[in-house]
């Protein structure tokens, strides 16, 4: 049907939270903007996908609790509950799907909350930073990497928190891995610069500070999931054995990454692997084989404070992409 999308409970996007009730029928019809369902004695021409800009509304807030002339970021209605609880002084009294503290930026006196997360620490290290070849590289390239790796300062703090993961420093690039060596979920944080010199050599390497053994050395199906900021992005731990079908169809995100880098000249990029075995839209807590690949592109609106780790005075214009790791169409 023209201008109508048909979903089942299984195909309904998780973000819409419309699939787990017995009151929902076998098929759900979703009209695109402008479509009207004409039912005898009743009609429907509203309630389109909330991603459609015309569906967005506006919130005005006035009172001593709010900063004058402040603007809140766009939000879904589920965020309101925590705002009411905060204003009433009973924050956390009722569990809900919103994010505690979402409206802090527009409040005169936002509550002070205890940070119960454990700061992510550096991975166990065994000495000085040196280059370990996992694939043969030109001597000049190795010397260049070794010089940079041994001279770049170690980040004293990292703007991510976790008790299960640790980070490996590769100058302006960072690899985040799980303390459990059998957990393949990992991420790479890079500074992508349109002017960076990229290496065309086909190699991978490790920082001997963290390991003296290459993972899956010379595995024919290994592929980098880093964005490729510079030759320093070819870290062996930034690889994964992706199915051939996924590799052939993952060029879209690479193209988008290049387009945004060309447009904004410099980006903060996070790429990684996640596991969602039951496809409920929430990452699994327990270890498992990665089922999804994601990439987040973040633009600095003001100047950069640091590139080790990446930090901006004012971040914005983020774009996120998530792809299931499929082996067939």
User: Is 158 within 8 Å of 167 (Cβ atoms)?
Assistant: yes
**In which residue are the tokens 């070849």 written?**
133
Q: What is the pTM of this model?
A: 0.69
| Domain assignments of the chain as residue spans, ordered by start | 4-53, 63-113, 121-324
Name every residue whose Cβ is closer than 8 Å to that of residue 306 and which is 6 or more positions away in sequence: none
DSSP-derived pairing of the beta strands 205-207 and 186-193: unpaired
Half-sphere exposure for 207 (CA within 13 Å, toward CB): 31
Q: Out of 1.10.3210, 3.30.2420, 3.40.570, 3.40.50, which CATH number does the structure's domain 121-324 have?
A: 3.40.570
Please report, in tens digits, the pLDDT of each residue of the chain (329 residues total).
778 888 888 888 777 778 888 888 888 888 888 887 777 656 555 578 887 888 888 999 999 999 999 998 888 888 999 999 999 999 988 888 788 888 998 999 998 876 655 568 888 887 788 898 888 888 888 888 888 888 887 665 566 667 788 888 888 888 999 888 888 899 998 888 887 666 556 788 899 988 888 876 555 667 888 888 776 888 888 888 888 888 887 888 888 898 988 888 888 899 999 998 877 777 887 778 899 999 999 888 767 777 766 777 777 778 888 889 887 65
Residue 197: DSSP 8-state: P
């Amino acid at each position: 049907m023209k201008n109508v999308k048909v979903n089942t409970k299984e195909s309904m996007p998780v973000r819409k939270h419309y699939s787990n009730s017995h009151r929902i029928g076998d098929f759900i019809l979703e009209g695109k903007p402008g479509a009207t369902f004409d039912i005898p004695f009743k009609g429907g021409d509203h309630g389109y996908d909330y991603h459609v800009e015309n569906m967005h509304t506006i919130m005005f807030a006035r009172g001593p609790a709010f900063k004058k002339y402040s603007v809140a970021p766009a939000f879904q209605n589920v965020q309101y509950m925590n705002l009411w609880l905060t204003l009433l002084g009973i924050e956390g009294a009722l569990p809900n799907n919103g994010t505690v503290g979402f409206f802090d930026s527009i409040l005169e006196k936002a509550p002070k909350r205890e940070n119960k997360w454990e700061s992510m620490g550096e991975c166990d290290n065994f000495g000085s930073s040196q280059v370990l070849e996992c694939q043969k590289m030109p001597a000049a390239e190795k010397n260049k990497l070794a010089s940079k790796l041994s001279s770049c300062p170690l980040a004293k703090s990292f703007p991510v928190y976790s008790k299960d993961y640790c980070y490996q420093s590769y100058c302006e690039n960072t690899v985040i891995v799980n303390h459990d060596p059998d957990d393949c979920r990992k991420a790479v944080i890079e500074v992508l610069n349109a002017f960076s010199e990229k290496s065309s050599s086909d190699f991978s390497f490790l920082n001997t500070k963290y390991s003296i053994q290459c993972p899956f050395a010379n595995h024919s199906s290994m592929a980098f999931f880093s964005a490729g900021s510079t030759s320093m992005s070819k870290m062996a731990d930034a690889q994964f054995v992706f199915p051939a079908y996924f590799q052939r169809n993952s060029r879209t995100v690479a193209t988008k990454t290049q387009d945004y880098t060309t447009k904004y000249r410099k980006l903060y990029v996070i790429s990684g692997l996640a596991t969602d075995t039951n496809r409920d839209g929430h990452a699994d807590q327990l270890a498992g084989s990665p089922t999804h690949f994601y990439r987040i592109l973040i633009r600095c609106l003001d100047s950069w404070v640091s590139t080790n780790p990446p930090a901006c005075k004012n971040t914005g214009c983020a774009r996120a992409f998530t792809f299931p790791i499929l082996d067939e169409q």
